[in-house]
Amino acid sequence: MGRKYFGTDGIRGRVGEGNITPDFMLKLGWAAGRVLGQGRGGKVLIGKDTRISGYMFESALEAGLVAAGTDIRLLGPMPTPAIAYLTRTLRAVAGIVISASHNPYEDNGIKFFSAEGDKLPDAVEEAIAEQIDQPLVTVDSADLGKVKRVDDARGRYIEFCKSTIPASMSLRGMKIAVDCANGATYHVAPYVFEELGASVVAIGIEPDGFNINRELGSTSPAALMQTVVREGADLGIAFDGDGDRVLMVDAAGNLIDGDQLIYIIAKSRLEQRGLPGEVVGTLMSNLGLEHALRRLGVGFARTPVGDRYIMERLKRDGGILGGEPSGHIICRDRTSTGDGIIAALQVLAALLTSGRSLGELASEVQRYPQRLINVRLARQEDLSTRPAVVDAVHGAERELGASGRVLLRPSGTEPLLRVMVEGADEAQVSAVAERLADVVRAELAT
C-alpha cells in the first residue's frame, strides 16, 4: 500500500502533477498527523529547501497536521540532514522535509524522518498511505494542533556540524570555495567553515525560488571548479539543493567524487581509531574504490542504488561509513543520515590529520573508466529469460576479466535499461558496452 504513494526516497514529482499538489499535501499532512502525531504533546517538524513551491506545500501540510490535532514546529529553509538532526534533539515525533533534492525548481517532494532521525519504516509509510485513502475528519476545535516557529534552528545545526570534528582542529589559513547551489545550505554552510577559521569564497547563496541547482552545485560543478582556480583556493566544496550530497574540487580544479571522498574518510578513520564493519557502496560505486579499500585491508559491500539500502546494510552489519559516487555519504558515527556538510568536515579533518592535500589523497583511488548506455524498453522484462542477453553478459565478463564488471539495471522511474560496463581499458569498456547495448536493443527495445 505504501508504495502507492511513496518511492524509495519519499514522494517526488513535477509541481501540480500527480501527487505533488496542494490538495494531496493537505491530505498527506492529515494522514501523517493521524499516524505519527500522538495527540497533544507530540510535535512534528517541517523544513524545506528554497523552491518557490515550498511555501505552498508547507501551508498545505500545516493545515492537514493541525486538522489531525498535531502540533507543528516550522524550521524554514534548512538542509535535509539538519531536519533529521533537529527531529532527534527537539524530541519531535517526526520530521518532514519539503524538497526535491538535486532536481530543478519545477519539481518538489516530501521526505519523512522518524523520531530517531531515520527514514520511516515501510510499515509506517503503509499506515500513512492507508489513512490518505480515508475521509478527512477534523478533530474538535479544542484539540486542533498549534504552530510555532523554531527561531534558532540554523544556529543549533551550525553548532552541531562543528562538533563533528575535534574541538582542537582549526581551518585557519585555509581558503575554501563553497557552492550552495542556491539551495538550503546557503545560510548555513559558509558560516560553518568560517566559524572554524577558514577564509570562504561562497557562490550559489542567492536563492530566488527558481534558481536552485541551476548551473551550480554538486550536479553542475563547473562553476565551482573555475572559482577554485580563479581564487587560488585550497579546495572547493559543492552541495546539492537540499544539502545531503557533497562533491569536492582540489586546488588544481579537478573534481573529486563521492567514491574518492568515502575513501579519504575511511583511510583516516582506519588510521585514527579503526573502522568497524565494511564500507558500503552501491552497484554504481566505481571498482577503483573497492580496490583502493582492499589495499587498506578494508572490506567493501554493494547494495542496490539508494541511501535507504546503504543505511540498512550499515545497521545490519555494524558499519559506520557508506555512500554513493554522487556524494551522498553516510557517517553513522557522526549523524543518522547522509549529510553533505558533515561529510565535508570529515574530509577536511582527514587532510589536517594527514598533512596532505585533497588531490594527493584522492589520487590513491584509481577510478576505472565507466560507460553507461540507456536503452529504452518496450516493457520491463526478466532478463534471465532472454538467452541472447545472458550469453552476451557472460561473454563481456569473460573479456573484461577480474579488472572489470558488467551491470544491467532497470530504471526505477523510466522504461529504461541501464547498461553499465567498467574496466581498466577505456576503449575496451566502450566497445563492450556498445555490443551489449546492441544485443539488448535487438531483444527488448522499442
Q: Which residue numbers are catalytic?
A: 101
Q: CB 321: neighbour CB atoms within 10 A?
A: 28
Rounded Cα gap, residues 379 and 444, in angstroms: 8
User: Cβ(346)–Cβ(334) under 8 Å?
Assistant: yes
- Cell triple for 85: 538532526
Report the candidate in 183, 167, 157 with the shortest Cα–Cα distance to residue 77.
183
User: Cβ(353)–Cβ(269) under 8 Å?
Assistant: no
Rounded Cα gap, residues 26 and 89, in angstroms: 27
Q: Calculate ∠ Cα 293-294-299, nearest 5°.
A: 80
- For the four alpha carbons of 427, 324, 282 and 381, in that order, the dihedral sign comes to negative
- Cell triple for 183: 539551495
* Count of residues making up the chain: 446
Strand pairing category for 300-303 and 235-239: unpaired
